[in-house]
Amino acid sequence: MRLRDIELRIVRMPLRSPFRTSFGVETEKVALLVRVRGDLRGPGGDRVETGGWGECVAMEEPLYSAEYVAGAVQVTRDFLAPRLFAAGDAVTAERVGPLLAGVVGHRMAKAAVEMAVLDAELRARGVPLAEHLGAVRDRVPSGVSVGIQPSVPELLDVVAGYLDEGYVRIKLKIAPGWVLEPVRAVRERWGDDLLLQVDANAAFTLADAPLLQRLDELGLLLIEQPLAEDDLVQHAELARMLRTPVCLDESVVSARAAADAIRLGAARVINVKPGRVGGYLEARRVHDVAVANGVAVWCGGMLETGLGRAANAALAALPGFTLPGDVSASSRFYETDLTRPFVLEDGHVAVPTGPGLGVEPVPELLAEWTSWRQVLSPDGPVGG
């Protein structure tokens, strides 16, 4: 396709309740949305106009990863968009990665642009994203990520609420000082059949191995990202000291990183987040590498709006996604979602069936929640 313009929007959405992790507390979701418009040659040779949506999962501050919203805006405006406009007619979702490869890193920014181009192409062709990616399911089992709570009784109340709603798997956020007591309390209250796992968001070091070994008796599905993002070798060392499978999130920034982690013995499970690895096409390659090595994957979450949630549901429907992911209902984080809401039905989220993402922002909500916008064109920024 040929891109006519790229609109960037920062939207701010209230969270239903604060979400505390080992790296901070979030009370509001800030998302950078990318809207591309352009045209492509239709089946009859005529030019067909199309448009697509992308969502950048970078947070406002660089606490989970090095990327952050203002940086993503700047790199998109100054380095990514110009490369795509310069490619003229030759822009396809498959080509976005190669066209942007000269820019080092900034995977979340690149992922959002690729997602928008992919959505635009698929909408023009009438193909759902799930079908394009190779999905084999029409709904995906839904897990929920539970933030660090002020006390164990409050944690038990929050978990009870999610189980009543039907979530099929519970993930507890852990941090120094919030490990054994909360996890043991949840295990004792609901018994051995509860699918339970923990996520440390890189809060520990190898010196904490004796503490983490005590989780072994609690029958967890996995422990996610116990050590630092760039600590693959130490993750491998820790994995040898634990019976609980080590799952990597932050460390897996590409299919190559996934292959390295598997080879080193640093990951028996991988959390796939499309933004973190540079897009849905690279996410599928992470899936393929894992499947080829007998490693289970599941789809992570970044508090996406309905746009990213739709795409994550499509990805999670691929055959190698054998563990329930963090693709929750919209109501997990939002009173009102930007798109039609994703709901929990029998513990599952339905994979959208419409062309492309299969969902779009509700215009009034998009207008209400947009705090900043700028339109980029081949001649440079327009207004803003």
Q: Would you name the residues annotated as active-site residues?
A: 173, 273
Is 64 a binding residue for ligand NPQ by CB under 6 A? The answer is: yes
CB of 301 to ligand NPQ, least distance (A): 4
Question: To which residue do tokens 């405006």 refer?
Answer: 77
Three-state SS for 345? strand
Q: CA nearest 326: which of 157, 219, 195?
A: 195
1 within 8 A of 121, measured Cβ to Cβ = yes
**303 belongs to the binding site for ligand NPQ (CB under 6 A):** yes
8-state DSSP, 64? S
Residue 58 vs 81, nearer CB to ligand NPQ: 58
Q: Which does 21 bind (CB under 5 to 8 A by kind): Mg ion, ligand NPQ, none?
A: ligand NPQ
> Interface with Mg ion includes 199 (CB under 5 A)?
yes
First to last CA, the chain: 25
From residue 349 to residue 378, the character string flagging contacts with ligand NPQ as x (rule: CB under 6 A) and all else as - is ------------------------------
Residues whose CB is less than 8 angstroms from the CB of residue 300 and which lie 6 or more positions away in sequence, other chains included: 249, 271, 272, 273, 276, 325, 326
**Is 249 among the residues that bind Mg ion (CB under 5 A)?**
yes
- Helix residue ranges, H only, the chain: 69-75, 81-86, 93-100, 107-125, 129-133, 152-165, 180-190, 209-213, 232-241, 255-264, 274-277, 280-292, 306-316, 363-369
For residues 164 to 193, the per-residue mask of contacts with ligand NPQ, x marking binding by CB under 6 A and - elsewhere, is ------------------------------
Asked if 249 touches ligand NPQ (CB under 6 A), the answer is yes
Number of residues that bind ligand NPQ (CB under 6 A): 15
Is residue 96 within 8 A of residue 274, CB to CB? The reply is: no
By a kind-dependent CB cut-off of 5 to 8 A, residue 76 interacts, out of Mg ion, ligand NPQ, none, with none
Q: How many residues bind Mg ion (CB under 5 A)?
A: 3
Residue 197's binding partner out of Mg ion, ligand NPQ, none, with CB under 5 to 8 Å set by partner kind: none
Q: How far is the CB of 140 from Mg ion (least distance, A)?
A: 18
- In the bound state with Mg ion, the residue whose beta carbon lies nearer, of 39 and 199, is 199
Neighbouring residues of 364: CB distance < 8 A, sequence distance ≥ 6: none
Helix (H) or strand (E) holding 11: strand 2-21
Name the 3-class secondary structure at 55. strand
Does residue 26 bind ligand NPQ (CB under 6 A)? yes
Q: Per CB under 5 A, does 114 bind Mg ion?
A: no
Chosen from Mg ion, ligand NPQ, none, partner binding at 312 (C-beta under 5 to 8 Å by type):
none
Q: Which stretch binds ligand NPQ (CB under 6 A): 67-75, 213-221, 299-307, 312-320?
A: 299-307
Q: Which residues contact 118 (CB under 8 A, 6 or more apart)?
A: 52, 93, 129, 132, 279, 280, 281, 356
| Residue closest to 329 by CA, chosen among 23, 12, 10, 16 | 16
CB of 19 to ligand NPQ, least distance (A): 5
138-167 binders of ligand NPQ (CB under 6 A): 145
CB of 256 closer than 8 Å to CB of 232: no
Stretch that binds Mg ion, among 65-73, 199-207, 345-353, 375-383 (CB under 5 A): 199-207
Q: Which string of x and - marks every residue 201-240 that binds Mg ion (by CB under 5 A)?
A: -----------------------x----------------
State the minimum distance, in angstroms, from the CB of residue 65 to ligand NPQ.
9
195 vs 375 by CB, closer to ligand NPQ = 195
Q: Is 201 in the site for ligand NPQ (CB under 6 A)?
A: yes
Q: In what order do the strands lie in the sheet with 370-377?
A: 47-56, 24-41, 2-21, 370-377, 380-382
User: Which contiguous run of DSSP H or E holds residue 141?
Assistant: strand 139-141
Q: In the complex, which residues of this chain contact Mg ion (CB under 5 A)?
A: 199, 224, 249
Q: In the complex, which residues of this chain contact ligand NPQ (CB under 6 A)?
A: 19, 21, 26, 29, 59, 64, 145, 199, 201, 249, 300-303, 326
